[in-house]
Structure 1
Amino acid sequence: MEKQDQLLMKKQNKNLVLEIIKNQSPISRMEIAKITGMSPTSITRIVNELHLQGFVKETELVTSGVGRKAVLLDVCDDVFFTIGVEIDKFIIKIGIVNYVGEIVELRRIPRLESESYFETLEKVNMNLKELIEKNRIPHQRIIGIGVGLPGFIDNQNGVVKVSDQLKWKNVNLAEDLKQLTAFEVMIDNELKMKIVAEDFKGSAKNSHHAVLVGIGSGIGSAMILNGEIYRGDSNNAGEIGHTVINPTGNVCNCGKIGCLATYISEGAIVGDARKVKEIDSILDVFEAYRNGESWAHNLMDRTTTYIALAVSNILCLYNPEMIILSGDTIERLPEIKQPIEQKCDLYIWEPLKERVKIVYSQLGEHGVVLGAAIQIQNLLLDLE
């Protein structure tokens, strides 16, 4: 037992040193020793091990006070890579992400609403192979694939229980994609992956309690509480799209009446817009809104009202320090930011309004891909 405890401590120390170098590079061995409280001898031993494994390199010399120059340490960003994949209703995004969380290349592939589950997987596999070959990345340096997609996802078993947008039900996505690609695969809800990215390098960085709200083909949320993703009992925490706001309202794809998604999702907006005018897509609604057409203003006024109500309810339930608004609707129609903020000011309970920050995603279309790649790195990177 004592030997196991010693091995665990060595492993934890090694991970700690690597994390410090990753986040504070370039940094000297002496600075790491001061931060960790470990002896310079221990730091030298750990750094030598990390160097041999290809994680750490020495960089330029700098003068440290008078006399000797200190050798600075940095991480090797190409020691390994992960793949982030976003699968949405009409688009697939695939990104190669290096060790420090930089997207080496991002590819967007159209997805047909009519294409089958296996056609989508083949499309992912083919484009993934092309990207790897194009960037000349050895397969042994790719440690896994992370996938973010909408719906009820059993992340522990790699199963898509239900995805209304993709029309998938009870599919073994992680195993099927692993069979095609020969890489380890992790899947999760797209918004949970997006908030991982926001926590890593976006609006939620350094925040212990944050909620991300995604508004687009559907509406949902994801939460970081006490610095960790809050999943609930079955990974469904945050599924605000299926909270009932009008029991005599519209019929939802889930079979219930009056779900929030039936008033805010782009499909719901388009459906109501077609009662007034012949349009092709949500972009036509946005154009009509910009042109001052009253029906479009009425629709988007209703949408911003329900968004503000959703924000108000989230604040009362979870009391986060920050709410991040994201998604295609806001990115493609940024003019609605001001109406949302005005209505949030109207509906949010006064004691909560004083402290909460309402901000917008800084990551745009990269969020899900980056978060999925970071999450698979977190799950699979295990330094011995």
Structure 2
Amino acid sequence: MNTTRAGSKGLIRDLNRSLVLNIIATHGPISRVEVARRGGLTAATITNIVNDFIAAGLVFEAASEESSGGRPPILLRINPTAGYVIGVKLREYKVIMVLCDLACNVIYCDEEELPNPVQPYQAVETIATAFEKCLRETHINQQDVLGMGVGVSGLVDAGQGILRYSNFFDWSNVELGPALEFKTRVPVIIENDVNMLALAESHYGAGRSSHICLLITIGHGVGMGLVINGELFRGVYGSAAEFGHITMDEAPDAPPCTCGKHGCLEAIISDYAIAHAALNVELGYADEPMMQQLVERARRGEEEIAAIFQHAGTTLGIALANLINLFDPAQILITGEGLRAGDLLLGPAQATIPHHLFGKPRPEVSLVTISSSNESWARGAASVFLREVFRPPIYETGKTLAIDTLLQRARGRAVKK
């Protein structure tokens, strides 16, 4: 765990710069006076920091279109092209890569196939090759890429960049981060893919208005990401929020899960769980045509198939009620391929939730469904690294601050011009 930095002039300088950058990024376009008000800093401090940002090309000045009759106020905004971040979603059979600017706008997207089954070294080579292709096709210099975020299903030690376990790939203790840093020569953060998507929604999407962003994914597996006050909740060992593997059925004939246990939530409500219950297909297997057919059969009134979706939805509702009792969120975001079932799944879930909540009356918690394309997953990975740019520098990490890297690179480009 990183230790807190000792108080010093350097710490105060770094905190002030980070504060100003965050205010401009979050609330821009914004005036210097408003930055000072929000940050509680003196006008002189704001002037010095902002002038440094402008000289480096990190911040733009722009005249406001509104004026009370005098000179229009000059507003500040982040230059989104002052730096870039790479986001990677590592799926079972492909790599999805995006290049994002400092506003987390996707400006490039690519997909590359992986062998099946895939070994770790093959995934690393594919990602490195896709990175080189990205630089060629966007004409962006490698030194302008601040880093790469990689999202992968499983238990991740984000501090060490190690994928501890992934049942999708059958990988254990893979040093994915160090290997990618060696191949790409950029800093790399490895994180659970659902955590990354939750962070993106918390800062740039449907979860921006809430202090608690709780996101559930349903589809090939079942996952959960939890962001509290802008920070991912990882737990002590990085394996927090494994929502899909909470036990929901202890019966002797409880359905099997790909993790090796029986009765997990994922073993009841995931695509493969529904396909296994309906068609007795291989554990862990389900494809889109198969699932679409099962949804259509349930909608046509086939009672046996409809009952499987009903049971899955009821089980999901109980699990969601438990989350509401634990975290008291204003809303829960739900995404993933499993939403193809619509009310077959969410109808029973919503009907079940009130019966398992503590305390009455209680404000209703909204279930908000959001789309989740491959691009959005990869953008979530990019957002994790992007947060390092705007993170307050209060910890000793032994690494150069992202804001210093931004300023140095921006100054270098200004000199060349």
TM-score, L = length of structure 2: 0.83
Partner AA of 1:259 in structure 2: C
Number of residue pairs the alignment of both structures matches: 380
The answer to whether the 8 Å contact 1:273/1:285 transfers is no
Q: Distance in 1 between matches of 2:226 and 2:361?
A: 17
Q: Which residue of 2 aligns with 1:284?
A: 290
State the Cα deviation string for residues 309-339 of structure 1 (Å, max 9, x = none): 2111212223223211111211x34344434
CA pair 276-361 structure 1, distance change in 2 beyond 3 A:
closer
Task: Indicate the SS of the match to 2:8.
Answer: helix
Residue of structure 2 equivalent to 1:383 = 403
Residues 296 and 131 of structure 1, relative CA distance in 2, 3 Å threshold: farther
2:92 counterpart SS class: coil
For structure 2, the residue ranges without an aligned partner over 5 or more in a row are 1-5, 390-400, 405-417
- How far residue 62 of structure 1 moved from its aligned partner, in angstroms, is 4.2
User: Are the aligned partners of 1:199 and 1:205 in contact in 2 as well (CA < 8 Å)?
Assistant: yes
- What is the match of residue 394 of structure 2? none
Maintained 8 Å contact 1:319/1:352:
no
Are the counterparts in 2 of residues 87 and 148 from structure 1 also a CA contact under 8 Å?
yes
Provide the C-alpha distance between the structure 2 equivalents of 1:140 and 1:351, rounded to a whole number of angstroms.
56
Secondary structure class of the residue paired with 2:131: helix
Provide the rounded CA distance (Å) in 1 between the counterparts of 2:7 and 2:164.
39
Indicate the residue corresponding to 1:20 in structure 2. Answer: 23
Change (3 A) 1:283 1:345: farther
Structure-2 change in CA distance of 1:369 and 1:19 (3 Å): same
1:61-140 to 2 correspondences below 5 Å: 62=65, 64-140=67-143
TM-score of the superposed pair, with normalisation by structure 1: 0.90
The separation in 2 between residues aligned to 1:62 and 1:285, in whole angstroms, is 52
Is 1:325 paired with 2:310?
no
Where relative contact order (Cα < 8 A, 6+ residues apart) is larger, the structure is: 2
The answer to whether the 8 Å contact 1:220/1:241 transfers is yes
What is the one-letter code of the residue matched to 1:322? Q
Aligned-partner Cα distance in 1 for 2:184–2:107:
19
Q: Percent identical across equivalent pairs?
A: 26
Structure 1 stretch displaced more, 180-189 or 263-272: 263-272
Corresponding residue for residue 3 of structure 2: none
Is 1:244 matched up with 2:247? yes
Q: Deviations over 1:175-194 (max 9, x none)?
A: 11112212111101111111
* Alpha-carbon separation, structure 1, partners of 2:169 and 2:279: 22
Letter of the structure 2 residue corresponding to residue 161 of structure 1? R
Of the three residues 149, 155, 160, the one matched with 1:157 is 160
**Preserved contact between residue 276 and residue 295 of structure 1 (Cα < 8 Å):** no
Task: Name the CA distance, whole Å, in 1 between partners of 2:307 and 2:113.
Answer: 31
Whether the 8 Å contact between 1:165 and 1:217 is mirrored in structure 2 is no
Q: Separation in 2 of the partners of 1:21 and 1:224?
A: 22
Q: Distance in 2 between matches of 1:9 and 1:371?
A: 31
**Alignment of 1:314 onto 2:318:** no
Larger displacement relative to structure 2 (358-367 or 78-87): 358-367
